[in-house]
Chains A and B, each alone.
Chain A
């Protein structure tokens, strides 16, 4: 029996049919838009113990997939606009990181980056230092001799929770681990005595600036700029306090410029103009600035 189609004709028909299918698919997606599955935030298996069974000897690979999902979830949530009224924008972040680190208990980056992600204040992150600490405590259990995790827990207590005493305890525990750097004991000590000193924070972030990981370096870079901004705000606040409000009782850059050497609206280290509250006279970083939101300044810390 002879074939109805020659080989070239068959191949051309196959290519044409596939191209047609792609066109129809694109048209259908335009007519009936579908919800992006990546944003629907479905996590079918939430139990790390169950997932350990289901992963079936390929746990490290499953951990990698959950890690990639965690990054996608974090990145996607950061890009979302509009108010997060239900507070659910980052709801899957901790479960995903918990799954990744249970499936692969030695997943160093998932612990360390995960803690950074979880500790970021809204809208840039979920603002859950408690979950960051929980994740890092898992790391301490899995690898009790790695000083970095003790250091990271201390850092969350210091930077996010302003709990200097607990931070100092964790830095001390980090210092007691093998291969711990020799600056840790002095850091633990300074945490107790100079806990509200911006210089300490600057020193800590500068150490993280030496990290091999690009993400950590970028976070450290931004935090250092925030500390610079806090110093600048202090100086501006001082100038405004000295000059006082205009005759109408309002604060403005124009009035401040007329009484000082200020020539233009001051800009923050990320090149965005500062905002001045005309009623209270308080200077703050603009919400459009890459440095926004600034860390909590309670207690004069940073």
Chain B
């Protein structure tokens, strides 16, 4: 466990050295600028739009971090030949993979936490001078704790994307890994269409293959409850828990597969 933590912390430190936290500044400027401009443009919908924008930005910024850092987690060590020095240490390949994954998840978690705090701060600023009548007109409270449900699911979704990127990183080049991860992300977003393939085709085999693909591909659309929470629609905690559990199991499968592939790689 100590070894895994050491690898994870080193990944986190490297991401700080790579200036990943700069995206937090961009996020803060984006939200503050938008909150000023939107008031003039949106006919009283600035709170809704800031919530939409904030959640979308957390998701997009996190996606870039997950993909572009995730694809280099293993391949960079191989390219730099530092993998030889690492594997010569008392560190198993599985521990290395888990540590690398945990490090990037730590980076993502810190980013998401800070971005969420910034979102709540901007919302608090917007709600500062609202009259009780204006507050009553909002579909959901301005500082709605339910936003955290969307943030949690975005976090789990990004953890799955990180696991996908890590998996491809164990046997592919960074460019190909990025393409494959992004492709899988897109496919996972439209995954629900595969479930209802029987409404489109008659072939039982095609329907069976589509249904299998539905279960094998990551179901990224299920993590998206942004619109619902912004409108104050109910998102049951049981749904959040079940989707988080699904994400956890999918991550376990991917990290295990990554560990297996990595343990079989020959670095001679």
Contact = CB atoms under 8 A, between A and B. Distances in A.
Contact of B48 (A58, A59, A64, A72): A64
A63 B52 CA distance: 10
Interface stretch (A103-111, A223-231, A269-277, A280-288): A103-111
Given A104-B227, A213-B137, A215-B44, A57 B53 contact: no
* B interface, size bucket: 20 to 34
B200 to A, nearest CB: 15
Contact of A60 (B60, B220, B221, B227): B227
Interface string A49-66: 000010011111101100
Which of A57, A60, A68, A213 has the largest count of B CB atoms less than 10 A from its CB?
Answer: A57
Interface string B45-56: 100110011001
Interface string B178-200: 00000000100110000000000
B227 A64 contact: no
B56 A108 contact: no
Given A60-B52, A64-B42, A215-B44, 13 more contacts: A57-B221, A58-B59, A58-B60, A60-B227, A60-B230, A67-B42, A68-B41, A106-B139, A106-B227, A106-B231, A213-B44, A213-B137, A214-B44
A57 B136 contact: no
Contact of B136 (A58, A67, A212): A212
Interface of B: 38, 41-45, 48-49, 52-53, 56, 59-60, 133-134, 136-137, 139, 186, 189-190, 220-221, 224, 226-227, 230-231, 233
A212 to B, nearest CB: 3
B133 A212 contact: yes
Interface of A: 53, 56-61, 63-64, 67-68, 71-72, 104, 106, 108-109, 113, 212-215
B142 to A, nearest CB: 14
A108 B231 CA distance: 9
B41 A72 contact: yes
A213 B137 CA distance: 8
Nearest to A64: B49
A109 B45 contact: yes
A64 B221 contact: no
A113 B227 CA distance: 20
Contacts of B134: 212
16 contacts: A56-B189, A60-B230, A63-B52, A64-B42, A67-B45, A68-B38, A71-B43, A104-B227, A106-B139, A109-B43, A109-B44, A212-B136, A212-B137, A214-B44, A215-B43, A215-B44
Contact of A68 (B42, B133, B186, B189): B42
A64 B53 contact: yes
Contacts of B220: 57
